[in-house]
Amino acid sequence: MGSEAGGPRTTAPGQQLRALFYVLPPGESSFRTVEEVPDYVEKVRASIPFFVAFIALEFAVSWIQKHKLSGRINDGICSLSLDILSVELISYIYVWNNYRLFELPWDSPWTWYLTLLGVDFPYYWFHRISHEVNILWAAHQVHHSSEDYNLLTALRQSVLQRYTSWIFNVPMPLFIPPSVFAVHLQFNLLYQFWIYTEVVTNLGHHRVHHGRNPYCIDKNYGGTLIIWDRIFGTCEAEDAKVIYGLTHPVNSFDPIMLQLCPLAHIWNTFWATPGFCNKLSVIFKGPGWGPGKPRLGLPEEIPEIIGKEVPFNPSVLVYLNCYAVVHFAVIMDLYTELLATETVSNLYETASHANKLLISRPKAGILEIIRCLVFMDVYKLGYFRSQFSSLVLNIKYFVLYLYCTSV
Helix H or strand E segment including 351: helix 344-358
Q: How many helices (H) and strands (E) does the chain have?
A: 18, 0
Number of neighbours of residue 33 by Cβ within 10 angstroms: 15
* Residue 244 identity: Y
Question: From CA 149, how far away is CA 67, in angstroms rounded?
Answer: 16
**Per-residue confidence (pLDDT) for residue 377, from 0 to 100:** 59
pTM for this prediction: 0.79
| Sign of the dihedral through C-alpha 58, 75, 143, 45 | positive
Q: Which of 240, 234, 235, 244 is nearest to 211 (CA)?
A: 244
Say which residues have a Cβ less than 8 Å from residue 184's Cβ, sequence separation at least 6: 112, 115, 116, 118, 119
**Per-residue confidence (pLDDT) for residue 44, from 0 to 100:** 47
**Per-residue confidence (pLDDT) for residue 347, from 0 to 100:** 45
3-state DSSP assignment of residue 355:
helix
Question: From CA 361, how far away is CA 105, in angstroms rounded?
Answer: 57
User: In the predicted model, what is the mean pLDDT of residues 287-293?
Assistant: 95
Residue 368 confidence class, pLDDT cut points 50, 70, 90:
low
Domain extents in the chain? 13-232, 318-404
Q: Which pLDDT tens digit goes with each residue over 229-279? A: 999 999 999 988 999 999 999 888 888 888 888 999 999 999 999 999 999
Q: Angle at Cα 151 formed by Cα 130 and Cα 14, nearest 5°? A: 110
User: Has residue 145 got a pLDDT over 50?
Assistant: yes
Question: From CA 211, how far away is CA 234, in angstroms rounded?
Answer: 14
Q: Which pLDDT tens digit goes with each residue over 100-126? A: 999 999 999 999 999 999 999 999 999
Question: From CA 378, how far away is CA 372, in angstroms rounded?
Answer: 10
Percent of the chain at pLDDT exceeding 70: 71
Average pLDDT value over all residues in the chain: 80
Q: What is the DSSP string of 366-395?
A: HHHHHHHHHHHHHHHTT-S--HHHHHHHHH
Q: Angle at Cα 185 formed by Cα 352 and Cα 227, nearest 5°? A: 105
Residue 384 confidence class, pLDDT cut points 50, 70, 90:
low
Position with higher pLDDT, 385 vs 57: 57
Ranges 166-180, 209-223, 329-343, 364-378: which has the least confidence:
329-343
User: In the predicted model, what is the mean pLDDT of residues 191-200?
Assistant: 90
Angle of helix 344-358 relative to helix 318-333, nearest 10 degrees? 170
Q: Which pLDDT tens digit goes with each residue over 2-41? A: 444 456 777 777 887 888 889 999 999 999 998 898 877 7
User: In the predicted model, what is the mean pLDDT of residues 174-183?
Assistant: 95
Q: What is the DSSP string of 230-266?
A: HHHT------SPPPBS-SS------HHHHHHHHHHHH
DSSP character for 167? G
Residue 81 confidence class, pLDDT cut points 50, 70, 90:
low
